[in-house]
Amino acid sequence: MTSISLDPAWGVSSDTAMVATGHPLAAQVARGMLQRGGSAVDAAIAADAVLGVVEPMATGIGGDVLAMLVPPGQAPVSYNGTGRSPGLLTAAAWQDLPHHKIPERHPLSVTVPGVVQAWHDLHARYGVLPWAELLAPAIAVARDGFAVAPVAAREWALFEPVLRQDPHTARLYRAGAVPRAGERYANPELAAVLTAVAHEGPAAFYLGAPARAAAQAVQHMGGVLAEADFAAHNGHFAEPVAGQFRGWTVLECPPNTHGVAVLHALAALEGQSLDKGDPQTTVAMADAMRAALKVAKETVADPAGNTVCTVVVDRNGFAITLMSSVFKRFGSGIAAVGQGFVLQNRGFGFSVPGHINGPGPAKRPYHTVVPAAVLQDGAFRACLGVVGGAMQPQGHVQLITRLAAWGEPVQAAIDAPRWRLESDRDLAVEAGTPVAIEAALRAAGYSEPAGLGELGGRSDFGGAQVVLRLPDGRLVGGSDTRKDGMALAA
What value does the mean pLDDT take over residues 277-302? 89
Determine which of 96-100, 229-233, 313-317 has the lowest per-residue pLDDT on average: 96-100
Q: Which pLDDT score, from 0 to 100, does residue 457 have?
A: 45
Predicted local distance difference test score (pLDDT) of residue 354: 86
Mean of pLDDT values over 313-325: 97
According to the model, what pLDDT value does residue 455 have?
Answer: 53
Question: Which residues are within 8 A (CB) of 358 and not within 5 positions of it... i.e. 6 or more apart?
Answer: 350, 351, 352
pLDDT band for 4, please (50, 70, 90 cuts): very low
Q: What is the pLDDT of residue 94?
A: 86
For residue 447, report the phi and psi dihedrals to the nearest 5 degrees.
-90, 155
CA angle, 311 then 317 then 322, to 5°? 20
| Segment among 285-294, 336-345, 453-462 with least mean pLDDT | 453-462
Assess contact for 107 and 223: CB atoms under 8 A.
Answer: yes
* Residue 301: predicted pLDDT: 57
129-142 confidence digits (pLDDT tens): 999 999 999 999 99
Q: Looking at the predicted structure, is the pLDDT value of residue 340 above 70? A: yes
Q: Is 271 exposed, middle or buried (0-12, 13-18, 19+ CB in 10 A)?
A: exposed
How far is Cα 293 from Cα 392, in angstroms, rounded to an integer? Answer: 11
% of the chain with per-residue pLDDT over 90: 86
| Confidence band of 453 (pLDDT split at 50, 70, 90) | low
The pLDDT of residue 11 is 87
**Percentage of the residues of the chain whose pLDDT score is greater than 70:** 96
Q: How large is the average pLDDT for residues 423-451?
A: 92
Using pLDDT thresholds of 50, 70 and 90, give the confidence band for residue 67: very high
Q: What pLDDT shows up at residue 3? A: 44
CA dist 451 and 453 (Å) reads 6
pLDDT of 141 reads 98
pLDDT at 9 (0 to 100): 82
| Cα–Cα dist 208/231, whole Å | 9
- Kindly report the number of other CB atoms within 10 A of residue 150's CB atom: 12
What are the structural domains, with CATH classification, of the chain? 12-489 (3.60.20.40)
Residues 24 and 50: their CA atoms lie apart, in Å, by 10
Q: Report which of 79, 16, 48 is spatially closest to residue 469, judged by C-alpha positions.
A: 16
Q: What is residue 298's predicted lDDT score, i.e. its pLDDT? A: 80
Q: Are 15 and 39 in contact (CB under 8 A)?
A: no
Instruction: Give the model's pLDDT for residue 390.
Output: 86
- pLDDT given at position 235: 97
Residue 4 CB: number of other CB atoms within 10 A? 15
Confidence of residue 2 (pLDDT cuts 50, 70, 90): very low
Give the bridge partners for 420, in sequence order: 428
CB atoms within 10 A of CB 438: 19
Mean pLDDT of the chain: 94
- Amino acid, single-letter form, for residue 63: G
Query: Does the pLDDT at position 303 exceed 70?
Result: no
Rounded to a whole number of angstroms, the CA Rg of the chain reads 21
What pLDDT digit, counting tens, does each position of 206-242 carry?
999 999 999 999 999 999 999 999 999 999 999 999 9
Closest to 359 (Cα-Cα) out of 91, 92, 111: 91
Average pLDDT rounded to a whole number, residues 143-148: 98
Alpha helix ranges (H) inside 66-224: 91-94, 115-126, 131-144, 150-158, 160-163, 167-172, 188-200, 203-206, 209-220
Q: Residue 8 above 80 pLDDT?
A: no
Q: What gap in Å lies between CA 428 and CA 456, rounded to an integer? A: 12
